[in-house]
Amino acid sequence: MDGDNVEKSILERFGFKYNKRSVHTGRTIMLEELSNLLEAVPDAIVYDDYIKAIIDQNCLLKRSSSSRTITANFLTELYSLDPTISIFRNLLFFWNRDEEGRPLLAMLCAFCRDRVLNYSFKAIKSLEHNAEVKKKSIEELIDEMEPNRFSESTLQSMARNILSSWTKSGHLKGRRDKVRVQAKATPATVAYAIYLGYLEGQRGPALFETTYMEINDCSKEMAIELAENASARGWIFFKRIGNVMEISLPNLITKEEADLIYEQN
């Protein structure tokens, strides 16, 4: 996570997480479960609406009550599932407007909330396209992040899940052997990346140089073009004159959130 301009305590109120827990000890970014949940409860207003759908209504078709509870907990860890939390509220905003961008949108949100997933991007972004990524290298990266914290079997499981997550987001392909490919950026994924960088205090051209924009896996020129597309759709305000960029997010950031950011900058 990029910015030091806004205090972590403020970012946590927006939905960022900085603790050491990781869903990837047992799951991936759970793209299918998230998709099925949001389809099953399209008009949810509060967190409890999602939890009731998972546990009471079994909308994800789990075999036992314990697996329903575990799934609800993991999805909460990754996405918050709370429409009052800024980064989930705006995940929903873009999710409902850009179906093609959903895999990257899910990754961007989970990236803000899962420390191991966040750290693993070091390995993904360093790969040339069509280069193979070795599971062992991910195991070593996780162990480097938290030396001797995880057993060998846990490291192996986490590495498999991390690679699966980056496959679901479109950065890797292959079943057993994973190779680097280009993920599919869209107007929504670029706008969401701009929004996440904005929360951290970045402004102007710096919004196209964040890790969130790197996850979009496209050139700066393409990102600017997609941002202009998002602006044309009314999702964000983006205006460029030469090297000067004006960016604002009136549809994504409430007045209260804007005041919090302003106070910290």
Tally of domains in the chain: 3
Flag whether pLDDT at 157 surpasses 70.
Answer: yes
Residue 104 domain-assigned?
A: no
Which one of 180, 201, 223 terminates a domain?
A: 180
Q: Does one domain contain both 166 and 194?
A: no
| Per-residue pLDDT tens digits for 190-237 | 999 999 999 999 999 999 999 999 999 999 999 999 999 999 999 999
Which one of 161, 180, 199 terminates a domain?
A: 180
Q: At 232, give phi and psi (nearest 5°).
A: -60, -30
Q: Does one domain contain both 137 and 89?
A: no
Residue 176 domain-assigned?
A: yes
Q: Does one domain contain both 193 and 221?
A: yes
Question: Within 13 Å and on the Cβ side, how many CA atoms surround 101?
Answer: 25
Whole-number mean pLDDT of the chain? 94
Q: Does one domain contain both 168 and 225?
A: no
Residue 108 domain-assigned?
A: no
Which one of 159, 180, 201 terminates a domain?
A: 180
**What is the extent of the structural domain holding 124?**
115-180
Residue 265: its pLDDT value, please? Answer: 62
Note whether 5 and 202 are within 8 A (CB). Answer: yes
Q: Does one domain contain both 160 and 197?
A: no
User: Which pLDDT band holds residue 167 (cuts at 50, 70, 90)?
Assistant: very high
Check the CA dihedral 207-97-12-167 and report its sign. Answer: negative
Tokens of 241: 């004159």
Percentage of the chain surpassing pLDDT 90?
89
Q: Does one domain contain both 23 and 93?
A: yes
Q: What CATH number is associated with residue 149?
A: 1.10.10
| Per-residue pLDDT tens digits for 12-37 | 999 999 988 899 999 999 999 999 99
- Cα-trace Rg, the chain: 18
Q: Report, as an integer, the average pLDDT of 60-66.
A: 96
Residue 50 domain-assigned?
A: yes
Q: Does one domain contain both 193 and 172?
A: no
User: Which pLDDT band holds residue 7 (cuts at 50, 70, 90)?
Assistant: confident
Q: Does one domain contain both 139 and 202?
A: no
Residue 55 domain-assigned?
A: yes
Residue 2 domain-assigned?
A: no
Flag whether pLDDT at 189 surpasses 70.
Answer: yes
Residue 78 domain-assigned?
A: yes
Other Cβ atoms closer than 10 A to 166: 26
Percentage of the chain surpassing pLDDT 70?
97
Residue 3: its pLDDT value, please? Answer: 47
